[in-house]
A = this chain, B = another copy of it.
Amino acid sequence: MKTTALIMAGGRGERFWPRSRKNLPKQFLSLTDDGKTMIQLTVERIRPLVELEDIYIATNENYKGLVLEQLPGLPQQNVLCEPVGRNTAPCIGLGAVHIAKKYEDEDAVMLVLPSDHLIKRNDVFANTLRAAVDVAMAGDNLVTVGITPNYPETGYGYIRYNKEIRQSESYAVDRFVEKPDLETAKQYLAEGTYLWNSGMFVWKLSTILKNFAKYLPETAAGLEKIRAAVGTPQEDAVLQEVFPGFASESIDYGIMEKAENIFILPGDFGWDDVGSWLAVGRIRKADEQNNVIVGNVVSVNSRDCVIQGGEKLIAAVGLEDMIVVDTEDATLICAKNSAGEIKKVLEHLRSSGRNQYI
């Protein structure tokens, strides 16, 4: 049976400003030592399971050019452009009907993956996905991959699973839970039956489409109109007409939290959601003072810093726990413990009309 993939690449991350911009969000940036962009790495790591021609990218018209530029060989028609953002459920539904119509095969398996996460051990990841595909093919199962938590993170959703109910290498999911407070997160860790929600899913097209019909019937009806138009001259017109009418809904809330037959595979492959510049300090090689430094930089008595320079000289003197990111037209200097406030810079820029920096 065919294995396909839908990579979701419509996000507009602001947290990597000034490298990320409205026209160049995080998934198209290279944040690792190898120089590859996040979306390139995402495609590369699923290639052991999926042919390039079976990989679909959900994004929007603004980023279509970037997708094709960064993924040479990807068929142009595999780039699905959402007319507007409607969260993950309509995005995944669009991918499902598009692929189902194209292959005329609802038994095909569909991987759903974010485009902006990092994974250290690609071989373990591929094996985990293979096991997930097996579970997905074994029945009408909705399969997800959870990350074994190693600290009580409060920024992620968690998934509780039942160790007693197994389906080959997976476990039955008890429930999805929202981002917890620190106390609750500590409890989750102590209980040992919670995994981080990674946003990675595996299922047969038929399975997810049945669940759309059951839990999001209005969206499902619209998706059927789109499916009928795929490959016809009306395809784009129907998409433009129907898609904006979809209710904005996450796949987690719209389907996963309600559906049955959900299974999860614990993943232990060095996952990082690369949520902010802080992640770059974890991901890239550090020097003896624990600085991650790139570019034309002189560091004097600085430690625990992330400094992303370019050609322009940056002299860092006596810095601790700082993030410095230099680009052609803007320089960010940010205390590590203020990384969450970078979005306030963008608010300031918008309100002062300096949109060229956004």
Q: How many Å from the CB of A356 to the closest CB on chain B?
A: 9
Q: Which residues of B contact A324 (CB under 8 A)?
A: 333
> Given A301-B341, A344-B300 in contact, is the A332-B349 Cβ separation under 8 Å?
no
A33 interface residue (CB < 8 Å to B): no
Chain multiplicity (copies): 2
Q: Which residues of B contact A339 (CB under 8 A)?
A: 317
A174 interface residue (CB < 8 Å to B): no
Name the residue on B nearest A352 (C-beta): B298
Name the residue on B nearest A316 (C-beta): B333
Name the residue on B nearest A326 (C-beta): B331
Q: Which residues of B contact A318 (CB under 8 A)?
A: 334-335, 337-338, 341
| Complex Cα gap A337–B319 (Å) | 10
A300 and B333 contact, CB distance less than 8 A: no
A315 interface residue (CB < 8 Å to B): yes
A330 interface residue (CB < 8 Å to B): yes
Residue in contact with A317 in the complex, picked from B301, B314, B344, CB distance below 8 Å: B344
A348 interface residue (CB < 8 Å to B): yes
Q: Which residues of B contact A301 (CB under 8 A)?
A: 338, 341, 344
A121 interface residue (CB < 8 Å to B): no
What number of A residues sit within 8 Å (CB to CB) of B? 36
Q: Which residues of B contact A12 (CB under 8 A)?
A: none
A345 and B312 contact, CB distance less than 8 A: no
Q: How many Å from the CB of A226 to the closest CB on chain B?
A: 41
A 87-110 contacts with B by CB, 8 A:
none
A 52-74 contacts with B by CB, 8 A:
none
| Complex Cα gap A300–B346 (Å) | 10
B298 and A317 contact, CB distance less than 8 A: no
| Complex Cα gap A322–B317 (Å) | 10
Q: Which residues of B contact A17 (CB under 8 A)?
A: 315
| Complex Cα gap A331–B309 (Å) | 10
Q: How many Å from the CB of A87 to the closest CB on chain B?
A: 28
Q: Which residues of B contact A337 (CB under 8 A)?
A: 318
Residue in contact with A335 in the complex, picked from B314, B317, B334, B338, CB distance below 8 Å: B317
A348 and B300 contact, CB distance less than 8 A: yes
> Given A300-B338, A338-B301 in contact, is the A345-B333 Cβ separation under 8 Å?
no
Name the residue on B nearest A323 (C-beta): B317
> Given A300-B348, A338-B301 in contact, is the A313-B330 Cβ separation under 8 Å?
yes
A357 interface residue (CB < 8 Å to B): yes
Mark A residues whose CB is within 8 Å of B.
Answer: 17-18, 298, 300-301, 312-320, 322, 324, 326, 329-335, 337-339, 341-342, 344-345, 348-349, 352, 354, 357
- Provide a sorted-by-A list of 17 A–B residue pairs whose CB atoms are within 8 angstroms: A298-B345, A298-B348, A313-B329, A313-B330, A313-B357, A314-B330, A314-B333, A315-B330, A315-B332, A315-B345, A317-B334, A317-B341, A317-B342, A317-B345, A318-B341, A320-B335, A333-B333
11 more A-B contacts (CB under 8 A) besides A18-B313, A320-B335?
Answer: A17-B315, A300-B344, A301-B341, A312-B330, A313-B331, A313-B354, A315-B332, A315-B333, A315-B334, A317-B345, A318-B334
